[in-house]
C-alpha cells in the first residue's frame, strides 16, 4: 500500500524512455505566443498582466544591477508555477516533486550568484562569513558555521520545494482514497471527508503558487547579497 502511494512520484516511462523532460517542456505551450499585435485576446492580456506583476514583485528587493536577472528569474517563476499547478490535475506527473530536478535548478543559480559576488566584491562577500563585532574566541567557530549555512542554501531551496509538494500530493491521495473507501460504508463521513479534500485542494493550489514564489524570491535575495 505504501508503494502504491509513492508510485505517483516515479518518473513515467514510455518504451524505456523517461518522459520527465516532456512534462517539463509541455507547460511552455501555455505561454503567450508572439504575434503581429501586442495584445491579441483577453487571455494574452491576462498573461501579460501576470508576467508584469511577477516581474515587479521579484525586482523589488534588487537594486539596478540585479535587474539584468529579470528574464531569468521571471522565466523560472513561470516555469515552476505552471509545473506545480498542472501537477495538481488528475493523472499528471509533477517534476518538481523530484529532488534531483529542484537541485538542478537551485544549485547552478545559487553558484552563479556566489561567483558573481566573489568576482565583483570579494571583500564584502567574504565578510558575510564573519559578523562584525564577533569575539576573538568565537571567530573560528562562526566562520565554520557561516560557511556551512552558505553551502547549505541550494539544498534548502530544493528540499523545501520537494517536501512541500510531496506532502501535499500524499495528503490529497490519502484523503481521496479514504473518501472512496468510506462511501459505501459511511456515506455521511465520506461526504465530510470529500469536503476536507476540496479544502485541501484549494490549499494545495495556494501552496503551489507560494512555493514557486518563495523559491525564486530567495534566489533574488541571494543575488542581492552579492551585487
Give 81-115 pLDDT, tens digit per residue: 888 888 888 877 888 888 888 999 999 999 999 88
Domain count across the chain: 1
Looking at residue 4, what is its pLDDT?
Answer: 63
Looking at residue 214, what is its pLDDT?
Answer: 92
Q: Is the pLDDT of residue 135 over 90?
A: no
Instruction: Quickly state the pLDDT bin for 64 (edges 50, 70, 90).
Output: confident
Interval 9-16 mean pLDDT: 68
**Do the domain assignments include residue 2?**
no
Check residue 145 and give left, alpha or beta (phi > 0: left; psi -120 to 50: alpha).
alpha
**Do the domain assignments include residue 156?**
yes
Instruction: Quickly state the pLDDT bin for 1 (edges 50, 70, 90).
Output: very low
**Do the domain assignments include residue 4?**
no
Q: Is the pLDDT of residue 33 over 70?
A: no
Looking at residue 89, what is its pLDDT?
Answer: 84
**Do the domain assignments include residue 62?**
yes
Picking from 115, 110, 62, the residue whose alpha carbon sits closest to that of residue 224 is: 62
Residue 162, number of CB atoms within 10 A of its CB: 20
Top-confidence residue, 24 or 121: 121
Looking at residue 136, what is its pLDDT?
Answer: 76
Q: Is the pLDDT of residue 215 over 50?
A: yes
Looking at residue 93, what is its pLDDT?
Answer: 80
Top-confidence residue, 20 or 185: 185
**Do the domain assignments include residue 5?**
no
Interval 156-171 mean pLDDT: 90
Interval 37-59 mean pLDDT: 80
Which H/E stretch holds residue 18?
strand 17-18
Domain extent, residue 221, equals 19-226
Q: Is the pLDDT of residue 37 over 80?
A: no
Picking from 9, 28, 157, 31, the residue whose alpha carbon sits closest to that of residue 94 is: 9
39-71 core/surface letters (b: 16 or more CB in 10 A; e: else) = eeeeebeebeeebeebbeebbeebeeebeebee
Q: Is the pLDDT of residue 180 over 70?
A: yes
Cell numbers 479544502 label which residue?
199
**Do the domain assignments include residue 7?**
no
Q: Which residues contact 174 (CB under 8 A, 6 or more apart)?
A: 5
**Do the domain assignments include residue 9?**
no
Looking at residue 206, what is its pLDDT?
Answer: 94
Tell me what the pLDDT averaged over the chain comes to.
Answer: 83
**Do the domain assignments include residue 83?**
yes
Looking at residue 144, what is its pLDDT?
Answer: 86
Which H/E stretch holds residue 13?
strand 13-14
Helix locations, the chain, DSSP H = 2-6, 20-25, 42-59, 70-86, 99-120, 122-127, 139-151, 153-182, 187-225
Interval 196-216 mean pLDDT: 92
Looking at residue 207, what is its pLDDT?
Answer: 93
- At residue 92, φ and ψ (nearest 5 deg) are -120, 160
Interval 63-76 mean pLDDT: 87
Q: Quick check: 2 and 177 in contact, CB under 8 A?
A: no
Q: Is the pLDDT of residue 170 over 70?
A: yes
Amino acid at each position: 500500500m505504501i508503494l502504491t502511494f509513492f508510485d505517483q512520484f516515479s518518473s513515467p516511462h514510455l518504451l524505456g524512455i523517461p518522459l520527465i523532460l516532456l512534462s517539463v517542456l509541455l507547460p511552455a505551450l501555455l505561454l503567450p505566443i508572439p504575434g503581429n499585435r501586442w495584445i491579441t485576446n483577453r487571455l494574452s492580456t491576462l498573461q501579460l498582466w501576470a508576467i508584469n506583476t511577477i516581474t515587479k514583485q521579484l525586482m523589488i528587493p534588487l537594486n539596478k544591477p540585479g535587474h539584468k536577472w529579470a528574464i531569468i528569474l521571471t522565466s523560472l517563476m513561470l516555469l515552476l508555477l505552471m509545473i506545480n499547478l498542472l501537477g495538481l490535475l488528475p493523472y499528471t506527473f509533477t517534476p518538481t516533486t523530484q529532488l534531483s530536478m529542484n537541485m538542478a535548478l537551485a544549485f547552478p543559480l545559487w553558484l552563479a550568484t556566489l561567483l558573481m559576488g566573489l568576482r565583483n566584491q570579494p571583500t564584502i562577500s567574504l565578510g558575510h562569513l564573519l559578523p562584525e563585532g564577533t569575539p576573538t574566541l568565537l571567530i573560528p567557530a562562526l566562520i565554520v558555521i557561516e560557511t556551512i549555512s552558505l553551502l547549505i542554501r541550494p539544498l534548502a531551496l530544493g528540499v523545501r520545494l520537494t517536501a512541500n509538494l510531496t506532502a501535499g500530493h500524499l495528503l490529497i491521495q490519502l484523503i481521496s482514497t479514504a473518501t472512496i473507501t468510506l462511501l459505501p460504508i459511511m456515506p455521511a463521513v465520506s461526504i465530510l471527508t470529500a469536503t476536507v479534500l476540496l479544502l485541501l485542494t484549494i490549499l494545495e493550489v495556494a501552496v503551489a503558487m507560494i512555493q514557486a514564489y518563495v523559491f525564486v524570491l530567495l534566489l533574488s535575495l541571494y543575488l542581492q547579497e552579492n551585487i
